[in-house]
Chain A
Amino acid sequence: MKIHEYQGKQLLKQYGVPVPIGIAATSADEAIAAIPNVQEQSGTEVVVVKAQIHAGGRGKGGGVKVARTRADAVAAVGKIFGMQLVTPQTGPAGKKVQRLLIEQGLAIEHEYYLGMLLDRATARVTVMASAEGGMDIEEVAAKHPEKIFKQPIDPATGWQDWQSRRLAKQLGLAGKPAQELAAFLRALTRAYEELDCSLLEINPLVSTKDGHVLALDAKLSFDDNALYRHPELEALRDPSEEDASEQEAKKWDLSYISLDGNIGCMVNGAGLAMSTMDIIKYYGGAPANFLDVGGGATAEKVTAAFKIITTDPDVRAIFVNIFGGIMKCDTIAAGVIAAVKEVGLKVPLVVRLEGTNVELGKKMLAESGLNIVAAADMADGAQKVVQAAKEAK
């Protein structure tokens, strides 16, 4: 689960991570009213108006403006609020800006990159830092891996101050900013751990002309598996940032991702679901979605999954590919039959069943009287559904 920058900063502030003075707004009027407040609290005229959308690259798309006067700031709010912000991560349609962050302007000395995530190779949460901040960190990682410094966190001891001293040295920080970095990292690593983050990125982390260290940006993602122990984070979810079908799927605990193609897929198991997409592409088709109904699904859940697929207007044919383990084939058959009876079936449906209770499942589908194309195996099913989608165009 992702949250907005301003929400991330509010959370980090609670842990003692220094962030600029800022006020979030959900309307242009609110944003304009916030400008003098931020100016007064910070003691400077300069404010930054920042569009709050989940996608990165906001600056490049014109979603971040530095304003030297109140009039400039008001103009920036007028320009950014409600705009269709296009960044490299939003896709060509862009994202409508419905929230703004008005923040104090800072006299920046230097920008750094700071990131925390789980390193799978070592099974440890790792802090990464670079003096090449503000830049595209993935480019730095690819071209100059030696400019990224890493410190893994020992699960037994947690983050240690010597690691901050080491990083400060590597980043070229000394004196007061180096001391502030130690406090910063102590707070940040605690926030990562206690909030069950899966990614925490401060890009840039800045040192200011007057010797302070602050988080100028904050990008937080949380481990979905741990959300059950953080009911407080649920309130930070922004439904307008999430795909409607994906939200419906979440209600049913289905793993669903919408894609650009026209072949709806219902599969059990993430690996098989990904491979089903692969084989559809291999035979010249394009999947409309990734959908893993999971292991212990009920017939009701299968029905819900089937409905989500059929509500996608782009879907020209549907491929159900099931290899039952925990999931029993008769459960899938019952769910599909119930869904078709409820919502009808306007496109060709190809079903491949294998695994636990396969004979019963096949028999149920055959006796249902529904117009279902049976597939002998995965390749046969993929070819049949690609053909059906082409003919339906």
Chain B
Amino acid sequence: MSVLVGFDTRLVVQGMSGSAGAFHARQMVEYGTRVVAGVTPGKGGAKVAGLEQVPMFDTVAEAVERAGANTSVIYVPPPYAADSILEAAAAGIRVIVAITEGIPARDMVKVKHVLDHEHCETILVGPNCPGVITPGQCKVGIMPGYIHKPGGVGVVSRSGTLTYEVVHQLSALGLGQSTAIGIGGDPVKGTDFIDALAWFAEDPGTSSIFMIGEIGGDSEERAAAFIRANVKKPVAAFIGGQTAPPGKRMGHAGAIISGGKGAAADKIAALEEAGIAVAPTPAEMGSTLAKLLA
């Protein structure tokens, strides 16, 4: 079992003719993901090197109607990415994974408003995220596939490379993953911790959860309250940015401590109060969960 993506995923790659889109589409095909279509406006009918078997369309609507796409992954550059998300939603795509980094916040405020009001059934993951993977079944995104192992740990993370780090540690300890979801570091995003935690809590294939947060905002605190009330499965966590100086933007638009809010210490305290095991260093994420399960 898994959440969001799996054997029934039929993927359309938006921006497949670009260099990042083409590279990762090939990687996803190699992993076993069913990539059924590519979309780049004006490139309908074209062939992308190494992906000759995947039909290209001008619009997502055609990819849905003619290739049966039900999931989309977006590698479109920032100025056009908000438009691409809304196009996918309007075409009836169920799960949209937006990899694009650097989308203006104003655009995302509008996208979120439209999704919340017009497309309640659509799930957006990201933007500015590594994607979603169900090991052994389907990879949608940019993560290195080989570090993952099928298993029972649900992973949800605000950080891309830290997700790879925890997955690598878990796999080395023999702890496979049900699904790993990178929710991304932007201030306005689709899926948040609470959404992912609710899916993992329900999923019979998920037996424990690892959550990676970072400084800024209060979504870790809200996630802690949610876990305390709703999640019976064992949960371990890590918070990045414990030593970051206040007021500095650390790469992620979301990762900034301002006005004394969003500090790592507050988040760790909230998680520990909710009974969650917090890893003291990023090198001990896997072992912290392993200890909990022993």
Contact = CB atoms under 8 A, between A and B. Distances in A.
Nearest to A226: B104
A185 to B, nearest CB: 18
Contacts of A268: 161
Given A270-B255, A273-B251, A326-B142, A278 B283 contact: no
Contact of B106 (A193, A296, A324): A193
A228 B249 CA distance: 19
B161 A323 contact: yes
Contacts, number: 172
Contacts of B251: 255, 269-270, 273-274, 290, 292
A281 B238 CA distance: 16
B168 interface: yes
Contacts of B164: 323, 325, 354-355
A27 B24 CA distance: 54
Contacts of A354: 164, 168
B243 A118 contact: no
Interface stretch (A17-25, A60-68, A104-112, A374-382): A374-382
A75 interface: no
Given A272-B159, A274-B215, A325-B144, A282 B281 contact: yes
Contact of B214 (A155, A156, A274, A292): A274
Contacts of A294: 101
Interface residues of A, number: 57
Interface in B7-40: 20, 23-24
A274 B168 contact: no
Given A120-B188, A138-B260, A269-B160, A156 B109 contact: no
Interface in B222-259: 222, 238, 240-245, 247-255, 259
Nearest to B162: A271
A223 B242 contact: no
A154 B112 CA distance: 12
Contacts of B112: 123
B219 interface: yes
B187 interface: yes
B143 interface: yes
Given A282-B280, A323-B161, A277 B109 contact: no
A253 to B, nearest CB: 10
A355 B147 contact: yes
A344 interface: no
A277 B240 CA distance: 9
A120 B106 contact: no
Contacts of A155: 109-110, 113
Interface string A253-272: 00101010000000111111
A234 B252 CA distance: 22
B244 A295 contact: no
Contacts of A7: none
Contacts of B219: 120-121
A37 interface: no
B113 A156 contact: yes
Contacts of A278: 240-243, 281-282
B212 interface: yes
A81 to B, nearest CB: 27
A294 B218 CA distance: 25
A100 B112 CA distance: 42
B79 A325 contact: no
A290 B244 contact: yes
A323 B147 CA distance: 11
B282 A270 contact: no
Nearest to A281: B243
B281 A379 contact: yes
A170 interface: no
Contact of A355 (B104, B144, B242): B144
Interface string B255-294: 1000110000000000000000000111110000000000
A271 B161 contact: yes
A356 interface: yes
A235 interface: no
Contacts of A282: 280-281
A118 B113 CA distance: 14
B157 A271 contact: yes
A123 B282 contact: no
Given A196-B106, A259-B245, 9 more contacts: A120-B188, A155-B109, A225-B78, A268-B161, A279-B282, A290-B251, A296-B20, A323-B168, A354-B168
19 contacts: A89-B247, A155-B113, A223-B106, A229-B79, A255-B250, A271-B161, A271-B240, A273-B251, A275-B162, A278-B281, A278-B282, A282-B280, A292-B250, A295-B142, A324-B144, A325-B160, A325-B161, A354-B168, A379-B284
Interface of B: 20, 23-24, 78-79, 101-106, 108-110, 112-113, 117, 130, 142-144, 147, 157-162, 164-165, 168, 185, 187-188, 212, 214-215, 217-219, 222, 238, 240-245, 247-255, 259-260, 280-284
